[in-house]
Amino acid sequence: MKRTVPQKTQRRLQPRAGAVSAVDMRNDDAPLDLGMLPEMTGYALRRAQLAVFADAINALASLDLRPAQFSVLLVIGRNPGRKQSEIAEALGIQRPNFVALMDELNRRGLARRTPLASDRRSYAVVLTKDGEALLAEAQETLTEHERRVRRHLQDGQHQAFLRTLARINEAMSEVEKA
Amino acid sequence: MKRTVPQKTQRRLQPRAGAVSAVDMRNDDAPLDLGMLPEMTGYALRRAQLAVFADAINALASLDLRPAQFSVLLVIGRNPGRKQSEIAEALGIQRPNFVALMDELNRRGLARRTPLASDRRSYAVVLTKDGEALLAEAQETLTEHERRVRRHLQDGQHQAFLRTLARINEAMSEVEKA
DNA sequence: TATTGTTATACTCTATAACTATA
DNA sequence: TATAGTTATAGAGTATAACAATA
């Protein structure tokens, strides 16, 4: 299998004595240039969100809860007796994806579906005593987590920061519809 | 459109002769209570990140690029000849997951692997002409996207905002190691 | 022994179509 | 016809173990 002319993939053959290509002259130790990425709002938002979530996920793991499970417990606890689809919508979770989530909370004895007499297609969802207790623990755990996050924001700064995040969220979500 | 009775909120029809459970007495029209969620930094970060990314994803879709593909093109373009594993690490992408990403860019003629004479285990990755052209287009597209995002930040505010995001990212990433 | 690229695999999250039983 | 819950499924994204070639 030998070729004479334009090798199909341009394989860089042997060093060919001194024939160091431009590619090989680079400094392999320098940190990579990320270009415009660090100045992009979305990139910065994503990195910060992942870093904050890593701490929250780790904290909730001690209760065997993931963030989505916590948010479901919280919203059911705050709105007992609402329909399953209302809880899902409030959290931006699609109805089909909510089923397994709810099944798991039910299996663990944390939440229950109860038939609605007024509409037999629907279920009202409520927390069990165990669910309320676990929710209370999770809220304490996440309050500590939130303190860890806010340690890195100057006093009073986090209010303005949260407002900015909410404004971006609302404004960009509107654009989305257009 | 007047009504004599303010039943708007109490529209639980068919009270069914006292057979109404506590669950059924709720106001089904009120927006749900999200509890502590809106005050949590991580929740606000996530919502904002998703909203901003929705716009970026939509913008990049016209070039048949996803955000991860754009970031790979960008970092290769800025650091031509680097090893595949270096590009992946700079973007926080695990080596096994980078393979299919790189395969796809290669299949589309946007990037190439070229053998490294100095270490025959490694490949240096570079953009093709097509890859450079598409990268340039994508950067223009995302610069417009970034303008749309910053329209919602007061003048000069976005610099402080980006710094805050970066500080949170760095600080929380350190904690992570501990 | 350690590292690079790779394969295989698995689990989460998300998104859509379509079924059922009700309304 | 339309809606609530469900099933099935598919696509990304992400994570780890292990192998071959090479260092």
The predicted-structure confidence for A152-175, as pLDDT tens digits, reads as follows 999 889 999 999 999 999 999 985
CA A4 to chain centre: 54
Min Cα distance A27 → chain B (Å) is 9
Q: Which of A32, A80, A168 sits opposite B79 (nearest CB)?
A: A32
Q: What is the pLDDT of residues A112-137, one digit of tens each?
A: 999 999 999 999 999 999 999 999 99
Residue for token digits 């976005």? B158
* The nucleotide closest to A54 (CA, C1' atoms): D14
Classify residue A33 by its DSSP letter: P
pLDDT for residue A28 is more than 80: no
Is B150 an 8 Å CB contact of chain A?
yes
A41 with B142: Cβ contact below 8 A? no
The pLDDT value recorded for residue A22 is: 41
Residue A121 CB in 7 A reach of strand D: yes
A32 with B75: Cβ contact below 8 A? yes
A14 vs B62, higher pLDDT: B62
Q: Which residues contact A153 (CB under 8 A, 6 or more apart)?
A: A161, B164, B168
C-alpha to C-alpha distances, A148 to A52, A53, A143, B156, B163, nearest whole angstrom = 9, 12, 9, 28, 18
Q: Quickly state the pLDDT bin for B57 (edges 50, 70, 90).
A: very high
Q: In percent, how much of chain A has pLDDT > 70?
A: 81
* The nucleotide closest to A116 (CA, C1' atoms): D4
The pLDDT value recorded for residue B174 is: 83
Q: Quickly state the pLDDT bin for B155 (edges 50, 70, 90).
A: confident
Which of A24-28, B5-9, B11-15 has the highest average model confidence (pLDDT)? A24-28
Q: How many CB atoms lie within 10 A of CB B68?
A: 13
pLDDT for residue A37 is more than 80: yes
Calpha distance A115→A44 (Å, rounded): 45
A75 vs B25, higher pLDDT: A75
Q: Which of A42, A58, A153 sits opposite B49 (nearest CB)?
A: A42
Average pLDDT, chain B: 86
Give the burial class of B101: count Cβ atoms within 10 A of its Cβ; 0-12 exposed, 13-18 middle, 19 or more buried: buried
The pLDDT value recorded for residue B24 is: 40
Is A80 an 8 Å CB contact of chain B?
yes
Tokens linked to A177: 């519809």
Q: What is the pLDDT of residues B105-142, one digit of tens each?
A: 999 999 999 999 999 999 999 999 999 999 999 999 99
Residue A121 CB in 7 A reach of strand C: yes
CB A93 within 8 A of CB A105: no
Residue B83 CB in 7 A reach of strand D: no
CB B107 within 8 A of CB B99: no
Four-residue CA torsion sign, B69, B73, B75, B76: positive
Q: What is the pTM of this model?
A: 0.85
Nearest residue of B to residue A72 by CA position? B34
Calpha distance B63→B71 (Å, rounded): 14
pLDDT for residue B146 is more than 70: yes
Strand, coil or helix: B4: coil
